[in-house]
Structures are given as structure tokens and as C-alpha cells.
Amino acid sequence: MVAVEVYGTPRCPYCVRARGLLDRKGVAYKWIDVAGDNALYQTMVDLSNGHTVPQIFIAGKPIGGCDEMYALDNQGRLDEMLGLK
């Protein structure tokens, strides 16, 4: 199984949407809540160069946020990246 990490906040609608897609695909992922934790937020920024949530990593590679993950899915590339094909 490919490692997936999602940095985000509980009330962010894009975070909820991204997690929903992963849940529907049956993908296990590590949820990292950066709300109110400046150190975790800074770790997310350092790893992804992204300042918005969610920031999603697949196999250690930053893929961007919710919109980017949905774009990969629409292109038919996400399942392969997740090891589902």
C-alpha cells in the first residue's frame, strides 16, 4: 500500500472533500491536523511549499491540494499513484 498523508484542518471544506475521495477509494491515509499547531503547519509548508490546506502527499511526494488530487482522478492517474491499479 502506498503511504498517503493529508495535512489539513477539521473544518476546511477542501480538506473534508479530499478525505472523502480517499475514503470512497478505500485508501488508508495519515491525517495530520495543523489547526492551531504552528510547528506542524511550518513542517507542512517546508515539505510542500504550499501555504493552504489541504496539502496531500502520495508516496512522500507532494501533489498539491484537493483540486489537484481531483484533477489527477479525472485524468485517470490517481488510482495508479495510489497503487489501486
Please state the φ and ψ torsions of residue 38, each to the nearest 5 degrees: -60, -35
Q: What is residue 1's predicted lDDT score, i.e. its pLDDT?
A: 73
Q: Which domain holds residue 16?
A: 4-81
| Peptide bond between residue 13 and the one before it cis (omega within 30 degrees of 0) | no
Q: Could you tell me where the beta strands, DSSP code E, fall in 1-85?
A: 4-8, 30-33, 55-58, 61-64
Look over the chain and give the mean of its residue pLDDT values, rounded to a whole number.
97
Give the tens place of pLDDT for each residue, 12-60.
Answer: 999 999 999 999 999 999 999 999 999 999 999 999 999 999 999 999 9
- In this prediction the pTM is 0.96
Q: Please give the tally of structural domains in the chain.
A: 1
Cα–Cα distance list, 44 to 23, 41, 76, 82 (Å):
22, 5, 26, 20
Q: Is residue 85 predicted with pLDDT exceeding 90? A: no
Q: Residue 46 maps to which CATH number?
A: 3.40.30.10
